[in-house]
Amino acid sequence: MDDCIFCKIVRREIPADEAYRSETAVAFHDLNPQAPVHVLVVPTVHAPGIVELPNDASVAMLAEVAHVIGLVAEPAGHRLVVNSGDHAGQSVDHLHFHILSGRQMGWPPG
């Protein structure tokens, strides 16, 4: 998508503080962190959510995203969040995973 901010980050049209990059996923630090460590992981293919991923690539892509999350997440503990749709608070219409860590997380979340 030409106007998607995460697609622009994937294409390196917009700079981001990258934590990791592979052929199918990019991890970068959130510009508005909600925890001391707040990293976003996005697939390099545009899809609004998990159910919209292309069938031919969804399993491999999600496996790579899980691998990247394992590489960049704090081993001492982290929270993984996926917001899907406006009602859930998704602000960018591109599937992305929030990794939050560096402080004690409460439950239920705020």
User: Which residue is it, tokens 């690539």?
Assistant: 57
d(CA 24, CA 44): 5
CA distances from 27 to 16, 66, 86, 108 (A): 9, 11, 23, 26
Angle at 101 (CA atoms; ends 96, 107), nearest 5 degrees: 90
Active-site annotation holds for 96? yes
Choose the catalytic residue: 46, 78, 94, 96.
Answer: 96
- List residues with catalytic annotation: 96
